[in-house]
Amino acid sequence: MDVKTTFKKGTNSGRTGRFLLLVVLTLAFAWLQLFIGGTRMAYALPGLCLVALAGIVAALSAYLRDSQAPRAVAASLWSVASVVVFAAYIFVRNRVSEIEYIARLQFFIMAGALVVYLIFTFVLTGPQERKAFLYMLMVLAVVQVLVGVYQFFHTNMWMPLPWAQRRGAEALRSSGLFISPNNFAGYLGTVGMFAIAFTLWARIKITERVLVAYVALLCAAGVALSGSRGGYVAYAAGCGVLLLMSLVAWAKLRPRQFAWILIASVVAAAGVFAAGIALMLKNPMMQARLLSISGFNTNVRWLMWESAIEQWKLNPWWGTGGFSYLYYGRLFRSPKVQQDPIHVHNDYLQLLAEYGLVAAAIFLVVLFIHLMVARRAFRDNIRSAQEGMQTSSTVIAINIGAIAALVCGLVHAIVEFNIHVPVNAFAMAAVFGMLANGYRPVVPMDGESLPPVPRMNKFYSYIFLPATCVALLAYAVPMLFPEYYSERARLGLRDAQNVVAKPPKHDSENELAVLREKYIDEGLAYAERGIVLAPENPDLYFYAGSLFMEKARLAKDDETYRELLKKAVAYFERAEGIFPSDSTLLLKLAEAHSYLEDFPSALKALDRAEKWDPQSGLVHLYRGYVWKDIGALGVAEEYFRKAQGSVAGRAARAALQDLRALRKREAEIDKGVLSIFQPQKNQPSKPSPPTPTLPPDTAPSTLSLDFVPSLE
């Protein structure tokens, strides 16, 4: 049989498999982007399952294709081995973290990134396959930018899904569908580098080139709308590397015209840069963001980095465990950092603090090897283009785009936490995979046969990849329903609190009470279902306790009020047993004890909160409330004054005004101006202390990822 005929017949099923693989990958990325980048476990897990399913499809596709199909030269053994070692270390260290539950999201991010990396290293190795995937990312980027444009012109922080909202950034800054404008800029930076590279280098039709160039402009515009100063610098760095590599390639492929190309490139780059800066300076927000880049030495990030270094000193070699900066960041925070840090805002320091010098050293090895392999691939692809008398190449476009995207991501990671956003981490994993295997595919000519499939390809494609995906599905699927129940409980709590904070118009007080009770009961039902399936989840107990506190405020008699509060205390104490270092949880526990007039227990809970968050103004605020309820107004005033300079300042000032009014009233009673009487308590309607830094969408542990402080 003719080799060419066999080749065509043998690839039909392989092509179908690769098409299905691209479809599943597209669904995974689209899902994660729609749901704020996958920054909640409830939203990350379905996307991760789709990625694992894509890995299984990839393994099947590789098996069907390898009989007679174009494939790349074997990937670098050292590249793949370094990534597998890095992932294995992260998996093991993560599973023995101090607070196992809150470390899970990082575990799943690493697992999903490993699967995506293997797919692009061993299966999606052809330029057309990779081009199709990158076009998918570009389409999603266009959608993101369109949402960002709407947000920018309406300045209302609009998001399409009411339960998946952005947090902690100015309304003037666009975030697309991401949880933060900074992560929005991170994604557009990655896609933008490929779009520019394809515009300059890909062998595509003129219509395609124009459309891709338009995507590149949209990505640059989206980064500008994000107001992310780190995004600005990273995008500029990526473009600089892309231009430099393009000049090197043009010098090899077009030596006679290179002088003119060099002049034109420098003039065009300078013109585009100047035009972009001029346009940005016309907008007050962008102007302020640009001008403040030079003042980075006063940025609060420095203080957060110092906290990370102090955390790293606790366990220099192995780190303190997955996502432990959530509570160690509070423990070591500066008094000037009052908003909840949550992330280090430096992916390298967070890796060092949570996983130690071992992880940092392995990562440096991974980065070095991939850069060396990418350099060699770039050199060989240029030589191949010279031999074929080609002045453009999709392989070169992907190679240059991947290196520029890597540089953009590496620079942005200095000041942000993009790798902690699943969809951005998976996109970067695809970049690493393209770098690990960046060679031109080997296609058989008439009368020739394909070289045998390398053994390493067979092992990773046929065994390691599907085994990893099956194990990942076995671990993730049982968590889908518990995390869904947890998210519904959170939404029930949020909606119940919003009935008071943002009451619907034209509703009477009775209707609002009925609506509030409905949300509370729904949230409690979901929380209790989740606890049955996942008793190790502290968020479920936190939501249940908070919902019982909300229900207590609707109680019509003292006995019911106290019973509901006791249930709240019981749930908070169970949560503390799982996550004892969560100061947010301990504040709620102290609040519940205070309502029960168990002031010694309330003060003890506040002592534990202060142990883990000694610089928090909220601890001082809550101490003031407790001492005020005790009747020690002088002590309460002292704590309220301590809280004035913090993020709890507004609530502290309001409390001081209440104290002044109370003292004035007592003075009038002493002078006989008012009659002496003891007002009757009405405990069911007793107001709760305000929590200015804890909006309804936050939770004590992993779900507080949606409250990203505005640090830029």
Q: How many CA atoms lie within 13 A of 68 on its CB side?
A: 17
Distance in angstroms (rounded) separating the CA atoms of residues 563 and 595: 11
Distance in angstroms (rounded) separating the CA atoms of residues 58 and 119: 6
pLDDT score at 293: 82
Distance in angstroms (rounded) separating the CA atoms of residues 581 and 331: 9
Question: 433 falls in which pLDDT band (50, 70, 90)?
Answer: very high
Q: Decide: 570 and 542 in contact? Cβ < 8 Å.
A: no
Q: Give the whole-number percent of the chain exceeding pLDDT 90.
A: 60
Question: 399 falls in which pLDDT band (50, 70, 90)?
Answer: very high
Q: Which amino acid is at 566?
A: K
Q: Decide: 640 and 626 in contact? Cβ < 8 Å.
A: no
Per-chain mean pLDDT for the chain: 86
Check pLDDT > 80 for residue 619: yes
Q: Give the whole-number percent of the chain exceeding pLDDT 70.
A: 86
Dihedral sign of CA atoms 176, 178, 183, 189 in order:
negative
Dihedral sign of CA atoms 322, 327, 331, 332 in order:
positive
Distance in angstroms (rounded) separating the CA atoms of residues 440 and 446: 18
- pLDDT tens sequence across 41-97: 999 999 999 999 999 999 988 877 655 444 445 677 889 999 999 999 999 999 999
Question: 456 falls in which pLDDT band (50, 70, 90)?
Answer: confident
- Which comes out higher in pLDDT, residue 647 or 624? 624
Check pLDDT > 60 for residue 280: yes
Question: 439 falls in which pLDDT band (50, 70, 90)?
Answer: low
- Which comes out higher in pLDDT, residue 351 or 557? 351
Q: How many CA atoms lie within 13 A of 542 on its CB side?
A: 30
pLDDT score at 482: 96
Check pLDDT > 50 for residue 689: no
Helix %, strand %, coil % of the chain (to 5): 75, 0, 25
pLDDT score at 393: 85
Distance in angstroms (rounded) separating the CA atoms of residues 229 and 186: 11
Check pLDDT > 50 for residue 15: yes
Q: Output the DSSP codes for 40-107.
A: SHHHHHHHHHHHHHHHHHHHHHHHHHTTS--BPPPPPHHHHHHHHHHHHHHHHHHHT-SSTGGGHHHH
pLDDT score at 676: 45
How far is C-alpha 476 from the chain's CA centre? 19
Q: Residue 708's CB: how many other CB atoms inside 10 A? A: 25
pLDDT score at 206: 93
Task: Please compute the mean of the pLDDT values over residues 321-328 and round it to a whole number.
Answer: 95
- Please work out, in degrees rounded to the nearest 5, the angle formed at the alpha carbon of residue 258 by the alpha carbons of 205 and 434: 50
Task: Please compute the mean of the pLDDT values over residues 288-303 and round it to a whole number.
Answer: 80
- pLDDT tens sequence across 472-506: 999 999 999 999 999 999 999 999 988 887 777 76
Check pLDDT > 50 for residue 545: yes
Query: Which tokens is 413 given?
Result: 């990671």
Question: 189 falls in which pLDDT band (50, 70, 90)?
Answer: very high
pLDDT score at 678: 46
H or E segment to which residue 664 belongs: helix 649-670
Is residue 613 packed enough to be buried (19+ CB in 10 Å), middle (13-18) or exposed (0-12)? buried
Identify the structural domains of the chain with CATH numbers, from first to last.
Answer: 3-295+302-453 (no CATH), 594-712 (1.25.40)
Check pLDDT > 50 for residue 421: yes
